[in-house]
Amino acid sequence: MTSDKKSVSLLTDIFVKKGLSDIVISPGSRNAPLIIAFTNQPGIRALSVVDERSAAFFALGMAQQTGKAVGIACTSGSAVLNYAPAIAEAYYQKIPLLVLTADRPPELIDVGDGQTIRQKEVYRNYVKESFELPCVADDPANFRITEEMINRAIDLTQFPEPGPVHINIPLREPLYGTTDRQPEGKAYDSKIAMPVAAEKQLEEIAENWNRSEKILLIAGQMTPDKQLNKYLSELAKQDNVAVLTETTSNLNDGHFLDCIDNIVSTISEEEVERFQPELLITFGGQVVSKMLKKLLRQHPPEKHWHLSPSGEEMDTYFVLTGVAPIKPEAFFRFISEKTIPVPSGYASTWKERKARVEKRRNDYLKTITYSDLQVFDVLLNEIPGSTILHLGNSTPVRYSQLFGSIPKFIYHSNRGVSGIDGQVSTAAGTAFISKKINTIVTGDLGFLYDSNALMNKNLTPNLKIIVINNGGGGIFRFIPGPDNSPQLETFFEAKHNWRAEKIAEAFDVPYFKAETLQELKSVLPAFYKNDFSRPALLEIFTPAETNAKVLKEYFKVLK
C-alpha cells in the first residue's frame, strides 16, 4: 500500500533504490501522502518527532553519523520555517539532508487559504538546490520530470560535497487516498560534474611549499580521517611546517598544535613576525578561534590556498590566493611525495610556545577555585573513553579548545552557523544511530532553548546531557564590550534562576546535579551507569562572576 499521489509514491520508491533508509516526519495533514507512502515502504525507517525544529536537528545528527542523506518531512506553512535553523547548519557544516515540504497547490497560494506561505525556494540561501514537483505526475511527461528531479535532488545531497537539498511538494485534496499500485521509478546517476584539481595548480602549490621557510596548515571542523591524520603527522615533523588543529578537527598527534587560543593569546606585536606564515593552507570547515582569525587578518601570509573538493572559496583570512578542488587527504598525499625539506625554526617557534603555555595552564589549574574552567578540567578527564562528545555553543566549545584534542573522544559541534538552537536534538540524533556513549555538554540557555529535544519518543539511553548552569550566557561576561555594559545581565547574559530538574521530570529523564567540585566527582559514576532505559541529565551549577574572573586571569597567566 502507498499514497495515491504518484509523485509521492515515486519519491519513496526512488528514495530506497538510491540507498536511503531514514526519514524523520513531523505530524500534519498536508503531508499525509508523505506519511502514508514512507511508513508503508519496505526498507524505510520512519521516525515521528513532533517539533519540526528539533526533528530537523535530530535528522542532522543521524546524517552526521551515517554519512547518508536523511529525509525530513513536514506539513505546510510555518512548519516549513521551523526547519530553517537545522538546514542552515547542515549547509555550512556540509551534512546531507533531503528536505521534503508538503504544500498547497499553486492556485491556493496567497488567496487566504489556511496554513499557507510561499514555500517555493523558501530556503534558497542555504540549500544546494531547490526543486518543486509537479502537482500531478500521472501523464508520461510529468512522470519523467518528477523522476529526474528526485534523482538529481538525492544525488546533490552528496556531490560534489554533502549538503541539504529541498523538494517542495504541492498536493491537492483529497490527501488520504491509498493504492496498491507502486509506480516503478528508475534510479540513475545524475552525472553531477565533479571539480578536478589541475596538475599545474598542484605543482604551483608544491613549488610554493618548497620555497617557504614558514608554512602554516590550519584544520577546521572535520570528521575523523585516519589517512589524512597519517600524512599530516609526517608533514608536521618538518622544520618549516606548523599544523594547527582544534578539538573539532578530530586530528591527533604530538606534533600538532591543538590549543590555538592558548598559544595565540601570548603572541605579542613585537614577536608576531616569527609566527606569521609565508604560505597558509587551510582545509575542513569553520575554525572556532577568533584570536587566530584576528591574528592572520592583521598579519596575513604571502599566499593562502584553501582545499575544497567542491571548489568552494572560503576566504576566512581575507587574502585567498586560490582554491584547490581536491580532498585534503589526496592533497597532502601528493605534497608528501613532492616536498623537499627546508631548514627552518618555524615549527620549533610554535611548539616551544605550546610547551610553555601548557605548563602554565597546568600549574594554574592546580590553584583555581570552583568555576567553569575547573568543571571542564574534571569533565574532560572523567567522561568515559570511546565517547562522542558534542560541544554546545558558545562557551563549551571554546573551553574545550583550551585543553587540546583528547584522543578518547570524537568531537562534534554545530559550528556551521554556531547557534545555540538544536544542540541537544543533534546529539540525540547521533546517539540514536551510534552504539557509543554520546555526551552533550551545553550551557543553560542552550539547553532551555532546545528543551523540546526531550519531547521525542526515539531517545536512547546512550545519550548523556550535561548542562552547565551559570545563570545565563556566561560568554558575555568575558567578551570585551558586553562585560562592562549596563545591559549585561538583562539583554546580553539573560540572567535567570531557572533549573532543568522539572523539565527532566516532565519527560521522565533521570536527573543528577552538582554544586561543588566534590559533588561533581562523586555524581559522575552514577550518571554514566548504563542501566538506564532513558537518557540522563546532569546539571552542574557554577558561579557566573567567578567564572569570568578565573578565565580572564587564565589568559593573563599564560602571557
Identify the band that residue 477 occupies on the pLDDT scale cut at 50, 70 and 90: low
Sequence-separated (6 or more) residues with CB below 8 Å from residue 434: 65, 388, 462
Assigned domain for 189 exists? no
* pLDDT score at 494: 74
Assigned domain for 192 exists? no
Is 512 found in the same domain as 372?
yes
Number of domains in the chain: 3
Sequence-separated (6 or more) residues with CB below 8 Å from residue 505: 511
**What is the pLDDT averaged over residues 401-420?**
97
Is 35 found in the same domain as 118?
yes
Identify the band that residue 100 occupies on the pLDDT scale cut at 50, 70 and 90: very high
Phi/psi-derived region of residue 191, left when phi > 0, alpha when psi is between -120 and 50, beta in every other case: left
Assigned domain for 7 exists? yes
* pLDDT score at 491: 67
**What is the pLDDT averaged over residues 205-234?**
98
Is 324 found in the same domain as 451?
no
Assigned domain for 378 exists? yes
Is 394 found in the same domain as 333?
no
Nearest Cα neighbor of 274 from 216, 206, 360, 316 is: 216
Sequence-separated (6 or more) residues with CB below 8 Å from residue 497: 471
Assigned domain for 190 exists? no
**Which three three-digit cell numbers place residue 91?**
549547509
Is 338 found in the same domain as 423?
no
Contact of 389 with 423, CB cutoff 8 Å? no
Task: Check which CATH number belongs to the domain holding 258 and give it.
Answer: 3.40.50.1220
Helix 372-382 × helix 544-558 angle, to 10°: 80
* pLDDT score at 495: 81
Identify the band that residue 476 occupies on the pLDDT scale cut at 50, 70 and 90: low
CA dihedral 328, 329, 331, 336 (to 10 degrees): 130
Contact of 357 with 558, CB cutoff 8 Å? yes
Assigned domain for 399 exists? yes
**What is the pLDDT averaged over residues 10-27?**
98
**What is the pLDDT averaged over residues 289-300?**
98
**What is the pLDDT averaged over residues 98-106?**
97
How far, in Å, are 14, 67, 136, 147, 209 from residue 41 at the CA level? 11, 22, 21, 17, 54
Is 336 found in the same domain as 479?
no
Is 253 found in the same domain as 120?
no
* pLDDT score at 478: 60
Assigned domain for 186 exists? no
Bridge partners of residue 72, in order along the sequence: 24, 99
3-state helix, strand, coil split of the chain in percent (to 5) is 40, 15, 45
Hey, is 418 helix, strand or coil? Answer: coil
Cα maximum dimension of the chain: 77
Is 430 found in the same domain as 347?
no
311-335 tens-digit pLDDT: 999 999 999 999 999 999 999 999 9
| Mean pLDDT (the chain, rounded) | 95
Is 522 found in the same domain as 452?
yes
148-164 tens-digit pLDDT: 999 999 999 999 999 99
Is 206 found in the same domain as 144?
no
Phi, psi of 162 (to 5 degrees): -65, 160
Assigned domain for 356 exists? no
Is 346 found in the same domain as 373?
no
Domain holding 334, by residue range, is 199-351
337-381 tens-digit pLDDT: 999 989 999 999 999 999 999 999 999 999 999 999 999 999 999
* pLDDT score at 472: 78
Task: Check which CATH number belongs to the domain holding 156 and give it.
Answer: 3.40.50.970
How far apart CA 7 and CA 10 sit, in angstroms, is 5
Sequence-separated (6 or more) residues with CB below 8 Å from residue 557: 360, 361, 363, 364
Phi, psi of 54 (to 5 degrees): -65, -40
28-65 tens-digit pLDDT: 999 999 999 999 999 999 999 999 999 999 999 999 99
> Which of 89-98, 107-116, 272-281 bottoms out in mean pLDDT, i.e. has the lowest?
107-116
How far, in Å, are 319, 371, 493, 495 from residue 488 at the CA level? 35, 20, 6, 9
Is 259 found in the same domain as 314?
yes
Cα-to-chain-centroid distance, residue 308: 17
pLDDT over threshold 80, residue 383: yes
Neighbours of 360 (CB within 10 A): 16
Phi, psi of 47 (to 5 degrees): -115, 145
How far, in Å, are 211, 240, 286, 301, 302 from residue 320 at the CA level? 19, 21, 15, 9, 10
**Which three three-digit cell numbers place residue 344?**
627552518
How far apart CA 334 and CA 18 sit, in angstroms, is 33
pLDDT over threshold 80, residue 25: yes
DSSP 154-204: HHHTTSSS--EEEEEEE-PSP---EES----PPP-----------HHHHHH
How far apart CA 138 and CA 141 sit, in angstroms, is 8
491-536 tens-digit pLDDT: 676 788 889 999 999 999 999 999 999 999 999 999 998 788 999 9
How far apart CA 6 and CA 36 sit, in angstroms, is 12
* pLDDT score at 430: 98
pLDDT over threshold 90, residue 388: yes
**Which three three-digit cell numbers place residue 117?**
506561505
Identify the band that residue 486 occupies on the pLDDT scale cut at 50, 70 and 90: confident
* pLDDT score at 358: 97
**What is the pLDDT averaged over residues 476-483?**
67
